[in-house]
Amino acid sequence: MVNKDLLNYTIQLADDVMILGHRVSEWTGHGPVLEQDIALTNISLDLIGKARNLYQYAAKQEGNGKTEDDYPFKRDAREWTNALLVEQKNGDFAQTIVRQFLFDCYHFYHLKALSKSTDEQMAYIGAKSVKEAKYHLQYSAEWMVRLGDGTEESHSRMQQALGDKIHYFEELFIPTKSESKLLKTGIAPDLSLIREKAYAKLNAVLQESTLSLPEDIFPQQGGRKGNHTEYLGFILAELQYMQKSYPNLTW
Amino acid sequence: MKKYLPLYEIFIRSKNGLHHKHVGSLHASDPQMAIMNARDVYTRRQEGISIWVIESKDITASNPTDSDAFYAPAEDKVYRHPTFYKLPDEVKYM
């Protein structure tokens, strides 16, 4: 029998990295310098790779001939359960780095905990991806400090980006109903513990970056329930173009 | 751009026991960024386990116009080659 909660949770985790991976991939060929173009593309590939692992796992759980491709290519915006943070625009390099850093703060500690999941497949995916996320966090934290504690221009852009994106941070730590149920059986990690670690990292890096959180933060949420910002529709339009134009097209 | 991102030469050791080998160059603002960039640019396909970086300007190179004086005289001195020793099979990477 399909465990609906585990399935929802698997898709939710996949959606986060699928959308962020797609967003970061938009930099490919447009990076500020060749070195960063490749760095961002590597990160994007890591994220999409993890999304594939999770979608494959979801398809296995669901059976009925489902494949990994059905989830990213055949669902409308309302069916996506990614957090709002990951669908936010790339903007300038500062906006991309701040979005990445906020996600990495959550992602790294989440994967670390997920690698101890009582669900064998989840534990495997967690252990495999945590090495990648460790590098992502190192990369984005490094840029937070470089640009935050850089020139007047880079500092102001980073401060602006932080002010724009921080409102989407808290949503990452709000468990869904399915997640809360899975916590009891040790499949999903405890988000409150991850939140503590993520904030500790965030604060440490902000201090080093000479950046500060805005006084007023208005936590936004809704992504987990399918209520997305205006951007997701545009992402899906591009991501799903081929399947929408030529249904069931294969290579 | 050049003013802010100087060129670095990248050396990668492909496995333990081998020496670092020059693989190319890239731009970075300091050695730490050069190492991260090198990781992203030159080790994507498991090429290495260790990275060295050095700013290109710190390398002093021989001048090609010196070729005659530098290298030609060694041409007829075969006795400098240690070809009279037998190498045991266990010695690799010579």
Q: Is A251 within a domain?
A: no
Residue A39's SS3 state is helix
Question: Which residues does chain A have within 8 Å of residue B35's beta carbon, measured at their own beta carbons?
Answer: none
**pLDDT (mean) for A222-230:** 96
Local structure of residue B18 (DSSP, 8 states): S
Who among B27, B36, B44 is closest to A142 (CB)?
A: B36
A99 — pLDDT class (breaks 50, 70, 90): very high
Q: Do the chains contact at B40 and A39, CB–CB below 8 Å?
A: yes
Q: Which value does ipTM take for this structure?
A: 0.78
B79 — pLDDT class (breaks 50, 70, 90): confident
Question: Could you list the residue range(s) of the whole structural domain that residue A193 is in?
Answer: 4-213+221-245
Q: Which of B7, B10, B36, B42 to mutate to test the interface with A (most CBs of A within 10 A)?
A: B36
Taking only the tens place, the pLDDT of each residue in A11-25 is 999 999 999 999 999
Question: Which residues does chain A have within 8 Å of residue B45's beta carbon, measured at their own beta carbons?
Answer: none
Q: Is A138 on the interface with B (CB under 8 A)?
A: yes
Quickly tell me which residue has 């916590």 as its tokens: A183
- The strand pairing partners of B11, in sequence order, are B22, B52
pLDDT at site B94: 66
Question: Which of A55, A49, A52, A47 is CA-nearest to residue A17?
Answer: A47
**pLDDT (mean) for A117-145:** 97
Closest Cα of chain A to B5: distance in Å? 10
Nearest CA in chain A to B34: A35
pLDDT at site A219: 95
pLDDT at A35 over 80: yes
pLDDT at A85 over 80: yes
Q: What is the average pLDDT score of chain A?
A: 96
pLDDT at site B92: 76
Q: Is A150 within a domain?
A: yes
Q: Which of B29, B32, B41 to mutate to test the interface with A (most CBs of A within 10 A)?
A: B41
Q: Is A182 within a domain?
A: yes
pLDDT at site A41: 97
Q: Is A250 within a domain?
A: no
Q: Is A92 within a domain?
A: yes
pLDDT at site B77: 85
Q: How many residues does chain A have?
A: 251
pLDDT at A49 over 90: yes
What Rg, from alpha-carbon coordinates, does chain A have?
18
Q: What percent of chain B has pLDDT over 70?
A: 96
Q: Is A230 within a domain?
A: yes
Which CATH number is A95's domain given?
1.20.1260.10
Question: Which residues does chain A have within 8 Å of residue B36's beta carbon, measured at their own beta carbons?
Answer: 39, 138-139, 142
Q: Is A120 on the interface with B (CB under 8 A)?
A: no
Local structure of residue B49 (DSSP, 8 states): S
CB B42 within 8 A of CB B48: yes
Taking only the tens place, the pLDDT of each residue in A169-190 is 999 999 999 999 999 999 999 9
Closest Cα of chain B to A94: distance in Å? 17
Q: Do the chains contact at A138 and B36, CB–CB below 8 Å?
A: yes
Please count the structural domains in chain A. 1
Give the full edge-to-edge strand order of the sheet including B21-27: B21-27, B7-13, B50-55
Q: What percent of chain A has pLDDT over 70?
A: 100
